[in-house]
Structure 1
């Protein structure tokens, strides 16, 4: 299975000012596999250490944070010699030994020649809980579920993936129906590596759903195992409310749908926990579409999305047969799957800041508003081929954007400053925006 982030890892290896690297991401998105694969393809040797329930490593780091002391202990533990230029050190579940995180500062300052990559399923939670952290002494990368392009590559459709990567819209328009069919399958399978690998090997949607249920159960077990006991009931209620929140026509998150009479203050910690560990994405409203969008963020209004479209369908109880039944896929669940899919692909494009817009009376909503640091672009999402978009027209008349995007099941088309982008090409939105604005 090819993950595009491995190219960023190779670039990190080549950096002159390379620092220890932390890979962030939710449980089961493939962090361990990626680190080991990077060690296999880019180094002569690698040493893998899992810090979960590892008393030897806990004792080693408790004694001293001196880099040479730690390296000597790692050599004894692994039975291998650490070559600074040719050995990759892999620290997994590093949040379980907080002093291992702290040691990264000393590797950065005193032993920068060593190559260290780290990951942890609940690392974001650990950092917010006050774990001593080497600020400014580490590099970061984020790993998410497989994108639609990575999914195509995983299921043996590399040629179709390449046409999207090359933005060859003449060709993609010619094979629009093929892309649409694979998109339907991605809506069911999603991007969790285990589900994708099983589907690539067998084509069995039923077992894919069983895998997704196991992943969702594992997440809920994490609530009880790792979260503060006082917020666990609220975590569960908030988590289970997301499909019903997205099923609404107006997808703004409403605390009253979590529990009657619920207030924001009661769920702030639970929401932070779920976003910190990468299970939920929070997209805030902006009141005015101007650069930078962050300056116009409405902290009280937001939408919540899961980390993966396949998990959302599983959680909502949508059968794979229903979803495979032609265009019915794109009208069931009130467009929730489509908006989830688009957000999931946008989050992979780190150069984009993502919000949504409504006017003060909430009579006009733009599903997503993105900025790339230079320009604000409205993104209207349509689950089908119906391109009537009153809200987008209202927005364009009022704000006169240099570029607007309508994402739907229609083929690629450009009309003046409006681009109709097929749903299956959302992966390339950042490049489309940059290329169009430069021209």
Structure 2
């Protein structure tokens, strides 16, 4: 299975300013596999250490953080010499030993010759709680479920993924049915590596659902095991309310849908916990469209999406036949799945600010507004081929963006101010300057 993130790891390895690297991401998005695969491809040796329930490592790091002593201890543990130039050190579930996280500062300052990558399924929470290591001494990489183009590659459609990357839209349009069929499969399977691998090998949708249910059950166990007891019920209620939140026409998060009469302050910690775990994406409203968009963020209004479109379908019990048969499918929930899919693809693009826009009267809503650092692009999401763009026109009259994007099942088409970008090509949106 190919992950685009491996290219970033090679860049990290070859950087003159390399620091220990922390890979963040939700449980089961493939962090451990990626680190081991990178070790196999790029180094002659890999020393893998899992810190979960590892008393020997907890004891080693508890004494002091002298890097020479730590390397000696790691060599004794691994049973071989660690060659700083040719060995990748992998610290997995590193949040379980906070002193190991703190040691990264000293490796950077006193022993930068060592190549260290770390990950942990609840690392985001450990970092947010201020686990002792100074910002600026480590590099970060965020890992998400497989994007649609990675899904194409994993399921034997590498040529179609390459075609998307080349943006040869004349050829892409000729083969659009292949992309549409694969996109419907992706809506069901999603991008969790285990589900994708199973689907690639057996094309068995029932097996995919079994895997997704197992992943969701593991997330629920994490709530009980790792979250503070007093917020566990709130996390669970909030998490389970997300499908119904997204099924509404206006997808703005409503606390009252979690439980009648609920208030923001009761659930803020639960949202932060799920966000730190990488299980939800919080997309805030903006009320204007200047650079940087963050300056116009309305912190009270937001949408919540979950980590993966396949898991969202699983939570709602969406049937594969409903999804795959014809275009007249799951009418009510189609918009929710489509917006979830678009959010998920946008998240994989580095350094992209993702928001949505509504005017004060609520008469104009833009599903996503992105900040590329150079321009602000409004995106209207359509689940099918209905191409009315009333909100985009209203937005354009007010803010005059260089480019507006409508993404749907319709073919690629560049008009005067409007780019029709097929849903299966939304990952290419950061290359709009090339169009």
What TM-score, normalized to structure 2? 0.99
* 1:185 counterpart = 2:185: yes
Change (3 A) 1:110 1:61: same
> What's the counterpart of residue 213 of structure 2?
213
Residue in 2 aligned with 1:51? 51
User: 1:80: which partner in 2?
Assistant: 80
Residue 330 of structure 1 deviates from its aligned partner by 6.6
Instruction: State whether residues 91 and 119 of structure 1, in contact with CA within 8 Å, keep that contact through their aligned partners in structure 2.
Output: yes
- Measure the CA separation in 2 of the matches of 1:345 and 1:353: 13
Task: Give the aligned partner of residue 435 of structure 1.
Answer: 434
Aligned equivalents of 1:342, 1:28: Cα separation in 2: 21
Structure 1 unpaired stretches of 5+? none
CA contact (8 A) 2:190 2:196 kept: yes
The residue correspondences of 1:229-378 to structure 2 (distance < 5 A) are: 229-329=229-329, 331-378=331-378
- State the SS of the aligned residue for 2:401: coil
Q: Does the Cα contact within 8 Å between 1:352 and 1:371 map onto a contact in 2?
A: yes
Deviation at 1:334, TM superposition (A): 4.5
Equivalent pair of 2:247/2:332 in contact (CA under 8 Å): no
Q: Residues of 1 paired with 2:386 and 2:294: CA distance?
A: 31
2:301 aligns to what SS in structure 1?
strand
**Counterpart Cα distance in 1 of 2:205 and 2:329:** 15
Q: Residue in 2 aligned with 1:12?
A: 12
- Any idea what the Cα deviations from partners look like across 1:328-365, whole Å, max 9, x if unmatched? 34734040000000000000001311100000011110
CA distance in 1, matches of 2:422, 2:46: 42
Cα RMSD for the two superposed structures: 0.8
2:226 paired residue number = 226
1:144 Cα deviation from its structure 2 partner:
0.3
**Local SS of the residue matching 1:391:** helix
Task: State how far apart, in whole Å, the 2-side matches of 1:27 and 1:80 are.
Answer: 30
Aligned to 1:404: 404
The C-alpha deviation readout for 1:7-29, integer Å capped at 9, x for no partner, is 00000000001000000000000
Given that residues 95 and 101 in structure 2 are in contact (C-alpha distance below 8 angstroms), is that contact kept between their aligned partners in structure 1?
Answer: yes
Q: 2 CA distance for matches of 1:164 and 1:23? A: 27
State the shift of 1:182 in Å. Answer: 0.5
Show the counterpart of 2:22.
22
User: For 1:282 and 1:202, how far apart are their aligned partners in 2?
Assistant: 34
Tell me if structure 1 keeps the 8 A contact 2:286–2:355.
Answer: yes
- Deviation at residue 134 of structure 1 after TM alignment: 2.8
- Alpha-carbon displacement from aligned partner over 1:65-98 (angstroms, at most 9, x marks no partner): 0111110000000102100000000000000000
* Other-structure match for 1:204: 204
Report how many residues are paired.
Answer: 435
TM-score by length of 1: 0.98
- Alpha-carbon distance between aligned partners in 1 of 2:98 and 2:46, rounded to the nearest angstrom: 22
C-alpha separation between the residues in 1 aligned to 2:137 and 2:111?
12
Distance 1:14 1:404 in 2: 38
Q: Secondary structure at the match of 2:350?
A: coil
State the shift of 1:327 in Å. 1.1
- Match in the other structure for 2:414: 414
Once residues 388 and 215 of structure 1 are traced to their aligned partners in structure 2, the CA distance between those partners, rounded to angstroms, is: 38
Q: Secondary structure at the match of 1:113?
A: coil
Q: Matches of 1:186 and 1:65 in 2, distance apart?
A: 46
